[in-house]
Chain A
């Protein structure tokens, strides 16, 4: 095992050396960094040329410059020496600083999108596998292929037009006409009917209920100007919480496990009480506090489950912890909605909240809620675009993996010994289907930080992709190398992790030692 890892790491280091040498030479050979000065008619033309030649060391041949760069980069390997030197970019800024900023921007952009895409993709994949060859399956398959074929810059322009400009116009005067409300309700009804499955009568019934519910809610929202002053309030949180409690228990323990259901419901009750107590505290929220509160919510849930006990304590604890976490999320959502009007009317936002470019409104001031709302409104469009194009892969892959597992002999055995379908799917099939997905996920996380060049360029996020593109355009090797090294190292490390994870999760696969 150790030999295997060491061998892989040594190979990776050699590949990295070779590839970085090539990248450096290619960038340096891609053009003339002095071109903009050569054509200029500035009086201090020669000075400018000299200054840039000095900065980029253009009088040294490119291969020698690479080894100089390598010498600086090698210092990054010395721990705690703090002498990391990746050179400077064309504006004289150290690359290590620029990389730090860009990395934060990129990670805030892609992390949420990737997590959501993985969650939604896996869920859709499993549902379509369980309903193989149903209308739902065909619909999702077609959508997956469609999303897979969309150019992201095209999607981005559409999102900007309809998601930002159109939606902002709507928010200025939030009035849903009756016909639109009924239309959206009908679409929701059809989707629910298709997704519901089962006999025609049941489908029509669920579809009809969804249609009525969605239409009524939209009309109510329109009448009360909910879109201007959104909020959930304790009643909605209570109703949604009970729904969550039932859903979570159904998935994690089964409704027959009364103790688990009771623990989940108690967690909802506790959440409602906390809702009233916590409001003053939430006014002073910080990021750290939110994280601590989330941890506290999970702990409280675990405690409730533990105290309720029952024949399967673990299941009760799991159900209650998940429920209390989700109820906590609802409370947070409610607080965000309370902050919405003041964000909406902020002098910097001026009533057009959904942004098309950048990562934050310049010079915006406000508390935690305003600032994070500001990030959300900036992140929502790029996130949507990224989710759309990466969803297809996960859905198809999960579906294939799940279908293969569902045809295994041990699934038949599990059914034959009389386990409920929930246990068969969630305990026996789902967990095994996740093994191949784990490797894909590890692989994708490795490619995460360099993977959004076009999205960043369309939405003007100054992240890693922007740094890279900018470096290429200015024929500036140092930022290109910085981004390349970061991306390549994470990709290789996560590649190794994917291989190791596979052999750890599936004991039949052994790495060659």
Chain B
């Protein structure tokens, strides 16, 4: 990520022309800025490739994929399980990422794990975003008792360790003999259950942020204007305040999602997340860490995919943050230096800008 040149060739000394002045809508401005953020675009492309590869190769939800093995198939070891893919000459081979000790194809397992991680990430994003918005909006808009009750609830959930909840859930899901609906649901949709559960506990940060946004936005003139013209509370919340808070929301949902991937892998690593015979990236690492000296590829590829997914989501989140920040002016130091104007007094203020 060496360069963050803007797509808009600046007219004035490296400062991006002020998009607001061109009569573009907020959506257009955000889109333009996001597309001009090379880090975010690379992140998006990488994520899209991984997404398509993971979901088409080994198939999803019963639909078969194009890859010949599934994550459970055992086949004879080739080259003692070493990866067959090579760059010179470019070749894919029989088992591009290698095989584990009993001959399962690592490519299929990694793809399956990536599927799980992405599913969990999306489920968490949706659930946490939804609950976070509702709780934050209600407590920030209505204040008073609603706020007191909801925020104390948030405080309680924040200090209960996620690990404990995960362990409890894993125990409940593992108790198949009890035959409860929860156990049967979890045994059939292990990943979904973890995603829903993690979503149910990771909304707290979002709720606090949204409350802050609503607290400041509800004091603004346009909200007073809407109220005087007789808008209902629901209309003010959804039509007037929420669109103004959507930037903060989207950015933080992305960050929650990237953190959630790491949480899921960590839980699987500790044995309270996804369980065998199903697989996940964290579980693969946990199962294979002892074999690092003999079969290092079993360890490298799942880790690489965790890092790639997480990194691309982080870069997308970073690009979104820049795109939604109205105070930010894109400033290109190199272009300014070429025209030899002192770049010191630029008002470029940014938080996580430029890669």
Contact between B266 and A454, CB atoms less than 8 A apart: yes
Determine how close the nearest CB of chain B comes to the CB of A141; give it in whole angstroms: 5
- Interface stretch among A149-157, A170-178, A315-323? A149-157
Q: Is B48 part of the contact surface with A, judged by Cβ < 8 Å? A: no
Given contact pairs A26-B164, A153-B265, A469-B270, a sample of 6 additional A-B residue pairs in the complex whose CB atoms are under 8 Å apart: A23-B164, A26-B168, A133-B354, A145-B315, A161-B293, A407-B347
Which A residues, 132 to 182, have Cβ-Cβ distances below 8 Å to chain B? 132-133, 135, 137-138, 141-142, 145-146, 148-154, 157, 161
The answer, yes or no, to whether B262 is at the interface (CB within 8 Å) is yes
How far does the alpha carbon of A132 sit from the alpha carbon of B344 in the complex, in Å? Answer: 11
Listed from nearest, the 4 A-B pairs whose CB atoms lie closest are A149-B310, A30-B168, A400-B351, A149-B311
The answer to the question of A223 belonging to the interface, with a C-beta cut-off of 8 Å to chain B, is no
Q: Decide yes or no whether A300 CB sits under 8 A from chain B.
A: no
Q: Is the CB of B152 within 8 A of A30?
A: no
Chain B contacts for A488, CB-based, 8 A = 159
In the complex, how many residues of chain B place their beta carbon closer than 8 angstroms to a beta carbon of chain A? 53
Interface centre among A151, A152, A450 (most CB of B within 10 A): A151
Chain B positions 138 through 150: 1 when the CB is less than 8 Å from some CB of chain A, otherwise 0: 0000000000000
Closest Cβ neighbor of A22 among chain B residues: B160
Residue from B159, B258, B286, B334 whose CB has the most chain A CB atoms within 10 Å: B159
Known A142-B1, A149-B310, A151-B266; judge A469-B163 contact (CB<8 A). Answer: yes
Point out the residue from A145, A157, A450, A469 that lies within 8 Å of B311, measured CB to CB: A145
Q: B155's closest neighbor in chain A, by CB?
A: A15
Interface bits B269-298 vs A (CB < 8 Å: 1, else 0):
110000000000010011001001100000
Quick check: B307 and A145 within 8 Å, CB to CB? no
In the complex, B345 has a CB within 8 A of chain A: yes
A21's nearest neighbour on chain B, judged by CB, is B156
A–B Cβ pairs within 8 angstroms, 5 of them: A16-B159, A149-B258, A151-B306, A151-B307, A157-B292
Closest residue of chain A to B167 (Cβ to Cβ) is A472
* Inter-chain contact B333/A153, CB cutoff 8 Å: no
Residue B172 at the A interface, CB < 8 A? yes
Q: How far is the CA of A57 from the CA of B67 in the complex (A)?
A: 55
Q: Which residues of chain A come closer than 8 Å to B269, judged between CB atoms?
A: 151, 153, 454
How far, in whole Å, are A390 and B355 apart by their CA atoms in the complex?
20
| Bound CA span A484–B289, Å | 30
- Residue pair A11, B307 in contact (C-beta under 8 Å): no
B97 in contact (CB, < 8 A)? no
Does chain A have a CB within 8 A of B202? no
Interface string of B315-355 (1 = CB under 8 A from A): 10010000000000001111000000000011111111011
Q: Is A183 an interface residue (CB 8 A)?
A: no
Chain B residues lying within 8 Å of A161, measured Cβ to Cβ, are 292-293
**B347 engages A472 (CB within 8 Å):** no
Q: Is residue A422 within 8 Å, beta carbon to beta carbon, of the partner chain?
A: no
Query: In angstroms, how far is the closest chain A Cβ from the Cβ of B131?
Result: 18
Alpha-carbon gap, A480 to B167, bound state (A): 12
Near A by CB (< 8 A), chain B positions 73-89 give none
Residue of A nearest to B304 (CB): A154
Q: How long is the Cα–Cα vector from A22 to B164 in the complex, in angstroms?
A: 11
Q: Is A453 an interface residue (CB 8 A)?
A: yes
A439 CB within 8 Å of chain B = no
Shortest distance between the CB of B249 and any CB in chain A (Å): 20
Cα of A27 to Cα of B166 in the assembled complex, Å: 11
Which of A31, A135, A454, A480 touches B171 (beta carbons < 8 Å)? Answer: A31
A18 within 8 A of B: yes
> Given A404-B349, A491-B159, does the pair A30, B171 have CB atoms closer than 8 Å?
yes
Task: Collect the chain B residues with CB atoms within 8 Å of residue A270's CB.
Answer: none
B179 contacts the other chain (CB 8 A):
no
A479-509 near B? 1/0 per residue, CB < 8 Å: 0100010011001100000000000000000
Contact among A31, A149, A152, A400 with B314 in the assembled complex (CB-CB below 8 Å): A149
A14 to B156, CA, bound (A): 9
B-contact 0/1 string along A1-41, CB 8 Å cutoff:
00000000001001110110011001101110000000000
With known contacts A153-B286, A154-B285, A154-B303, A472–B163 Cβ distance under 8 A: yes
B230 close to A (CB within 8 Å): no
Cross-chain contact A453 with B292 (CB below 8 angstroms): no
Does chain B have a CB within 8 A of A378?
Answer: no
Contact between A137 and B354, CB atoms less than 8 A apart: yes
Contact B354 A138 (CB under 8 A): yes
Give the complex CA separation of A407 and B353 in angstroms.
15
Interface residue? B165 (CB, 8 A): yes
Q: Does A468 belong to the interface (CB within 8 Å)?
A: yes
Chain B residues with Cβ below 8 Å from A454 are 266, 269-270
